């Protein structure tokens, strides 16, 4: 079982950023189809350990197969906002030496119409990473008020035609259930007066609904809240994001942890007194031209790296 092929984004860059030690303990919080995890395992020695996590049961099935092949690896079926709990259950009690978070969707998720993440093929309007957990997108759209739909499309999709699209959704659902991906995509396409070059008019709407259904920003905030306690001194945080909302959260978190405790202006303090927790490593990293040509889905990826201070 391979669960479909997924090309890991910024693979070599993320491996370099993790500064992998052969006997280290590492955590891949977004296992997907295991591309990053397999590459990490290839750099670990016999005493090294890796824990993978994922909400998607199909990804977890691939993880169980990898765990059966390699005793250094374990997989946890859980949201990454519970990473401290998952790490403790895996026996990572002294802190981890590296945490990798790839916030992108996997190609098998996007390419399978039955998952409802994409309008490339028609399928049920679901969008849940774990189909057994939470409310499907179609069910939320069936009950949400127009103002709430507008807010979600504006805030999570940065959709400038959010009001028009929300009104069209409310009109449509009064006539028939809004149940499929192509039905929603066609509705959005008809509702907006202009389109962004090279982008389907429904792209931002689908992004917004996926973020809502899976509580993606709340999950990321929950993960970041645990990073300081989870990482060992010198441990690396590596986060790959794909839209500005995610990247903004990560950027601010690293900045705030590097600044440490804030004192009133003019008060003389040392770095020790500020107690910074992380230091940023380098600048934001983007895929090179060759990677984007080989994998167009990598074009919006941004990677930020930070190191846990003693």
Asked whether the whole model's pTM tops 0.85, one would answer: yes
Residues of the chain predicted below pLDDT 50:
1-2
Last residue of one domain, picked from the residues 149, 183, 213 = 213
Nearest to 82 by CA among 50, 54, 106: 54
Does residue 32 sit within a domain?
yes
Does residue 69 sit within a domain?
yes
Tokens of 86: 């998952």
Q: Look at residue 104 in the predicted model and tell me its pLDDT.
A: 84
Q: Say whether 95 counts as a known binding-site residue.
A: no
Asked if 18 and 101 sit in the same domain, the reply is yes
The pLDDT tens digits for 52-69 are: 999 999 999 999 999 999
The pLDDT tens digits for 53-110 are: 999 999 999 999 999 999 999 999 999 999 999 999 999 878 999 999 999 888 888 8
Q: Say whether 109 counts as a known binding-site residue.
A: yes
- Per-residue HEC secondary structure of 126-163 comes to CCCCCCCCCCCHHHHHHHCCHHHHHHHHHHHHCCCCHH
Q: Say whether 24 counts as a known binding-site residue.
A: no
Asked if 102 and 141 sit in the same domain, the reply is no
Q: Say whether 102 counts as a known binding-site residue.
A: yes
Q: Look at residue 202 in the predicted model and tell me its pLDDT.
A: 95
Q: Say whether 65 counts as a known binding-site residue.
A: no
Q: Say whether 36 counts as a known binding-site residue.
A: yes
Asked if 285 and 145 sit in the same domain, the reply is no
Q: Say whether 6 counts as a known binding-site residue.
A: no
Asked if 93 and 19 sit in the same domain, the reply is yes
Cα(10)–Cα(140) distance, rounded to whole angstroms? Answer: 34
How many contiguous H segments (helices) and E segments (strands) does the chain have?
Answer: 14, 7
Asked if 89 and 235 sit in the same domain, the reply is yes
Does residue 113 sit within a domain?
no
Q: Look at residue 134 in the predicted model and tell me its pLDDT.
A: 92
Q: Look at residue 199 in the predicted model and tell me its pLDDT.
A: 87
Angle at which helices 11-18 and 35-43 cross, to 10°: 40
Q: Look at residue 68 in the predicted model and tell me its pLDDT.
A: 98
Pairing between β-strand 25-28 and β-strand 49-54 as defined by DSSP bridges? parallel
Q: Look at residue 120 in the predicted model and tell me its pLDDT.
A: 85
Whether 125 and 136 have beta carbons less than 8 Å apart is answered as: yes
Cα(279)–Cα(220) distance, rounded to whole angstroms? Answer: 19
SS3 state of residue 50 = strand
Q: Look at residue 268 in the predicted model and tell me its pLDDT.
A: 58
Which residue segment(s) compose the domain that 16 sits in?
11-108+217-308
Cα(39)–Cα(100) distance, rounded to whole angstroms? Answer: 12
Does residue 33 sit within a domain?
yes
Q: Look at residue 225 in the predicted model and tell me its pLDDT.
A: 97
Last residue of one domain, picked from the residues 161, 190, 213 = 213
């Amino acid at each position: 079982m391979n669960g479909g092929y997924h090309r890991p984004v910024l693979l070599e860059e993320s491996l370099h950023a993790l500064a992998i030690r052969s006997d280290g303990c590492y955590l891949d919080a977004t296992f997907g189809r295991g591309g990053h995890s397999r590459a990490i395992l290839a750099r670990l020695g016999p005493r090294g350990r890796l824990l993978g996590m994922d909400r998607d049961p199909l990804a977890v099935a691939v993880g169980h197969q990898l765990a059966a092949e390699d005793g250094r690896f374990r997989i946890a079926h859980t949201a990454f906002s519970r990473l401290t709990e998952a790490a403790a259950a895996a026996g990572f009690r002294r802190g981890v030496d590296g945490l990798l978070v790839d916030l992108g969707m996997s190609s098998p998720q996007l390419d399978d119409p039955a998952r409802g993440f994409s309008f490339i093929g028609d399928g049920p309007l679901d969008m849940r990473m774990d189909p057994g957990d939470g409310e499907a997108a179609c069910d939320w759209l069936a009950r949400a008020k127009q103002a709430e739909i507008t807010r979600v499309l504006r805030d999570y999709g940065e959709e400038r035609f959010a009001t028009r699209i929300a009104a069209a959704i409310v009109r449509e659902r009064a006539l028939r259930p809004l149940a499929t991906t192509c039905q929603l995509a066609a509705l959005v396409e008809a509702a907006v007066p202009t389109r962004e070059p090279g982008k389907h008019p429904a792209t931002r709407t689908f992004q917004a609904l996926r973020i809502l259904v899976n509580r993606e920003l709340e999950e990321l905030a929950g993960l970041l809240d645990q990073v300081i306690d989870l990482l060992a001194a010198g441990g690396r945080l590596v986060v790959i994001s794909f839209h500005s909302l995610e990247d903004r959260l990560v950027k601010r978190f690293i900045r705030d942890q590097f600044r440490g405790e804030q004192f009133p202006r003019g008060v003389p303090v040392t770095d020790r007194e500020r107690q910074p927790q992380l230091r940023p490593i380098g600048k934001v990293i983007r895929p090179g031209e060759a990677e984007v040509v080989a994998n167009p889905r990598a074009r919006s990826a941004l990677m930020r790296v930070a190191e846990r201070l003693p």
